[in-house]
Amino acid sequence: MNNLTTRTITGVLFVICVIGSVILSHWAFAVLFLVVSIAGFLEFTRLMRISKIIVYRPSGILFGAVLYTSITLWEFGVIDANLLLVNFLILPLLLIVELFRKSTSPFLNSALGLLGMLWIILPLSLLNGFFNHSDGPKWLHSGALLGFFLILWIYDSGAYIFGSLFGRHPMLERISPKKSWEGFIGGSAAGILTAYMVSASFIEFSVLQWILIGIVIIVFGTFGDLVESMLKRSSGVKDSGSILPGHGGILDRFDAVLLAAPAVFILIYLFR
pTM value > 0.85? yes
Domain span at residue 255 reads 3-271
Tally of CB atoms within 10 A around 251: 26
- The angle at the Cα of 170, spanning 166 to 171, to the nearest 5 degrees, equals 120
Domain count, the chain: 1
Coil/strand/helix, residue 171: strand
Closest by Cα among 133, 271, 135, 126 to 205: 271
Exposed/middle/buried for residue 46 (C-beta within 10 Å: 0-12, 13-18, 19+):
middle
Task: Give CA separation, 80 vs 72, 115, 124, 135, in Å.
Answer: 11, 25, 20, 20
20: number of Cβ within 10 Å? 12
pLDDT tens track of the chain, all 272 residues? Answer: 556 577 778 878 888 999 999 988 899 999 999 999 999 999 999 999 998 888 999 999 999 999 999 999 999 999 999 999 999 999 999 999 999 998 889 999 999 999 999 999 999 999 999 998 766 555 557 899 999 999 999 999 999 999 999 989 999 888 988 899 999 999 999 999 999 999 998 988 999 999 999 999 999 999 999 999 999 998 888 888 778 776 788 999 999 999 999 999 999 989 97
Calpha distance 78→55 (Å, rounded):
32
